Chains A and B, each alone.
Chain A
Amino acid sequence: MPSPDFSNYIDLTIYDVEPITVYNDAVDYAKISLPEFEPRVGTVENAILEAVAHSTAVLANTINRIPDGLMEGILALMGFARNEATFATGSVKFTAYDDFGVTIAAGTVVSYEQVSGTTVVSWAFETNTDLIIPEGATEGSVAVTALSAGLYPELFNTQSLVIISAAEGVAEAELVADIYVGSDSETDFEYFSRGAQFLASLNTSLSTAAQVSNKIRSSYSSIPVFKVYDLTKSDNMTIGTSVVGCFTVVVCATDGTALSSGTKSTLQSNLEELCVAGLDISIADMTSGVATVTLSIAIVDGFTPANVTTDVEDAINNYLSFEGWDFSTILLRNRLIAIVSAVAGVDYVTELAIVSYSNANATVNGAGNLVFTKKGEVPTADITVSVV
């Protein structure tokens, strides 16, 4: 148990009475309510008092079982399990009478017997697998496991064991290493104390970017497009830089227009209330630019080129849009090729190039990919499609 331990389980006894207490209290109470009443053993009145006292105490004890049951049920719902007992394990060397060879079957039981006065306590193991002592050898070792789960006494290397099972040709058995002693099941108190500590480890503050994202997605329908940038302050949105103690949420409407200042300030104040205190939270508008994309495609026979061209443009525009962009730091040319190739009627893409970007927030690198330099930048597309 770690020290200091602040969180041992506190159980609850809702109403703690024994039958004799209920009975005695009734008799005592009668001194006010019925002063002439003096219960005597054998009278109907006394029997009634005793019977009611017993049933009242049973009722009280039933109620007292509810709190622990409640705690165990809730912990179970949260996936918090008891620590069950484990089996002691070890390794045992068997010595044969001769070197003619012998097989000791799996499940052979050996035992350490602890004698205390006239009491003998047996700590039994069984072999895990068959042990074959070949001809010419007289010894062999095999792994063993305790017959019952729970804590065994510490047994050390060379400890002699009693052979319980019938094992023809076997002279003796002993441990060849210190055993793993196993462990008992944790007690109710240990389990509930761990449970209380588990509950005390939980927290509802928004602690990760994913939690903030999920909170906004689930609770703010007025903020349709957003991206949470951890380690980011709104006055420095350069990709590759980080500012500790900060995060920024970039937001916009589905068409890219900025949200109202009221919506943004509400989001900011709400997040400040829900997040870990001390965080610097910024809300920023998204920015966007236009990527010029040219491509050539071959079309499957039977499809109308104009229709396929439109579908290709739509597919790219769906991706390069405020609702479709995945806020990658790089727009891969091959990603666009994959999108185009998936359009019905496109046989293959013969050429695709990201030619340029309309602002300085992204540049086309030597591999033809569009590399973003600013967080919160959303690309749209100016597309030229040719059919070969």
Chain B
Amino acid sequence: MGYSVNKISPSDSVFLATGAPTDRWRGVSCSLVNVPTIAKWNNGSIAVTGDNQIEFSVVFNKLAATGKQQSSFSVVTEEMRGDYVESFVWIKSDNIVTVTSQMQLIAITNAPLLPEETISSTYSNTRITTGEWTLVRSGVIQVPPDEHHYGISLTITFKNVSGVDTTPTVYISHPTAYSRLQFTNNPSFFSVYESLPQVLQLSDSEINAPTYSLLRFVETSLARRGELFDLYQDIIPLDVSQGYDPTDLTTHSALVDGDKIFPEFAPFIAQFVGTKLSNPSPSSTPWENIPGTWQGIDEVDLALEPESPEDAVEWRSLERYNTQISGLADFFRWQISTGYYGLNAGSKTALVEATKYYCTGTKTVNYSLGTTWHVDIETKIEETPNGGALVVGDANPDLLDFLEKIRPLGTVIHHELIA
């Protein structure tokens, strides 16, 4: 919800679990512990207790030894190139402290970092005296228009200026980093923006911290409507004069075009082709978009070494992947767009094409009539998913199950695996 997104992932910005925060947070001359019950709004905070030092720091996502980012999380995404990144944290202290905050973009690389691969913001400097939550912003950074991917790092330094020789405890809540202009992606925003008096637009652009506060407020109020507008754009069927292109899926409707329909709409639309959607896909693997290769795994690999034998992935990083059954959405779309399980069931075409869908590779399917009301179907054993338990000459019961909803009344289907 909303078009400005916190680039710091929830696992690093929500502190509701007791114990230490994730290892992407580290303290310098201080200790860190999560405090679920103290927060600016919710989501807890990190309590920072200095080690009897006047000055101590909290660092997010930056290794002390190499200066590299600690993980590939919080990366700057492609659409942010050229835009500015802004960041802030909410801080509360039980004593008078000054806070300096700096944000860095650190290039993701396997080689030692070059100086130019770390881009630092200016330091902000805030004095906290009230004991209330205080917003502390870092300086802003423009994302270079180069090929690097960047991790976002924060360094927040506290200095006890109370004159009292006690170590203050400070709390950090809601660490946030976001693209300055990403909120303008809200499709409802511009229709309102263009209606605003130009003087307001101009004066709004001159305000900092936050930038474009009026426009941000407009976009905030329209956040849900923007989603609705996006949804409308996705589902409205277009004709050719409106830009429909049969070869361009982005111009298809996610509500009525079988090749694009959203999975959540599929059961409803399937009723129009007389189909109750079957599940799961015959060629399913457990998860929708889990990397299927070591190269893919390396993208979420802690070691960030392409061919490392110690490749390892944190569970929380796997949790970011969609646990939807692989191929399920495509299977739904196939059922709707063909109607073979409903309106178009029973024909030779339906049987042959469904068998092809089930098979892999060249999808060779031999169809012939046996004795009256008997249909013979042959498929290659290496192209017929069967778990390896069957041999040439066997019938694949899973395939026969797959074809059962297409089988014409009174007809017997025989299947045989061939070499």
Contacts and interface: CB of A to CB of B under 8 A. Distances in A.
Contacts of B407: 277
A26 B213 contact: no
B274 A25 contact: no
Interface stretch (A197-205, A208-216, A247-255, A363-371): A197-205
B174 A52 contact: no
Interface in B141-163: none
A32 B345 CA distance: 52
Interface in B1-51: 1-2, 4-6, 41
Contacts, number: 161
A28 to B, nearest CB: 8
Contacts of B275: 200
B344 interface: yes
A196 B277 CA distance: 13
A48 interface: yes
Interface string B259-294: 000000101111111111000000000000000000
Give the interface centre of A31, A53, A244 by most chain B CB atoms within 10 Å. A31
B176 interface: yes
Nearest to A27: B220
Interface string B375-419: 100000000000000000000000000000011101100000000
B272 to A, nearest CB: 6
Contact of B344 (A45, A200, A204): A204
Contact of B348 (A22, A26, A273): A273
A200 B224 contact: no
5 contacts: A10-B271, A33-B183, A35-B135, A52-B222, A52-B225
Interface in B213-266: 213, 216-217, 219-225, 227-228, 231-232, 235, 255, 265
Interface stretch (A12-20, A132-140, A164-172, A306-314): A12-20
Interface stretch (B58-66, B198-206, B318-326, B366-374): B366-374
A26 B224 contact: yes
A339 interface: no
Q: What are the 9 tightest A-B residue pairs by CB atom distance, in nearest-first order?
A: A12-B268, A245-B372, A278-B411, A29-B2, A200-B274, A273-B349, A52-B221, A205-B346, A10-B267
Contact of B347 (A196, A200, A246, A277): A277
Given A35-B135, A244-B372, A10 B268 contact: yes
Given A35-B90, A200-B276, A277 B372 contact: no
Interface stretch (A55-63, A110-118, A319-327): A55-63
Contacts of B267: 10, 12
A54 to B, nearest CB: 11
B88 interface: yes
A277 B220 contact: no
Contacts of B343: 199, 202-204
B350 interface: yes
Given A21-B224, A53-B224, 8 more contacts: A33-B2, A35-B90, A48-B221, A56-B228, A199-B343, A273-B348, A274-B349, A275-B348
Contacts of B344: 203-205
Given A26-B224, A204-B344, A278-B411, A45 B217 contact: yes
Contact of A33 (B216, B225, B274, B347): B216
Contacts of A273: 347-349
B228 A26 contact: no
Given A35-B210, A45-B217, A199-B271, A278 B369 contact: yes
A28 B221 CA distance: 11
B135 A32 contact: no
A7 B344 CA distance: 17
Interface string B321-358: 00000000000000000010011111111110000000
Given A32-B6, A204-B339, A273-B347, A37 B217 contact: yes
Contacts of B268: 10-12, 67
Contacts of B406: 277
A21 B347 CA distance: 49
A56 B5 CA distance: 21
Contacts of B224: 17, 21-22, 25-26, 53, 56
Contact of A199 (B265, B272, B346, B372): B272
Given A32-B176, A276-B346, A201 B213 contact: no
Nearest to A60: B228
Interface residues on A, range: 35 or more
A17 B235 CA distance: 18
Interface string B63-92: 000000000000000000000000010100
A25 B223 contact: yes
B347 A275 contact: yes
Contacts of B410: 278
B228 A7 contact: no
Given A26-B224, A45-B217, A277-B375, A205 B345 contact: yes
A59 B225 contact: yes
Contacts of A202: 274, 342-343
Nearest to A199: B274
B272 A74 contact: yes
A7 B276 contact: yes
B342 to A, nearest CB: 6
Contact of A31 (B41, B213, B270, B348): B41
A327 to B, nearest CB: 25
A245 B276 contact: no
Nearest to B367: A277
A25 B350 CA distance: 47
A140 to B, nearest CB: 54
B178 interface: yes
A53 B1 CA distance: 14
Contacts of A120: none
Contacts of A246: 372
A80 to B, nearest CB: 13
A1 interface: no
A9 interface: yes
Given A12-B268, A35-B210, A29 B346 contact: no
Given A7-B276, A33-B216, A63-B228, A277 B1 contact: no
Contacts of B408: 205, 276-278
A36 B210 CA distance: 9
A6 B341 CA distance: 13
Contact of A277 (B4, B88, B235, B351): B351
B369 A280 contact: yes
Given A277-B408, A278-B373, A6 B276 contact: yes
Given A32-B5, A275-B347, A196 B271 contact: yes
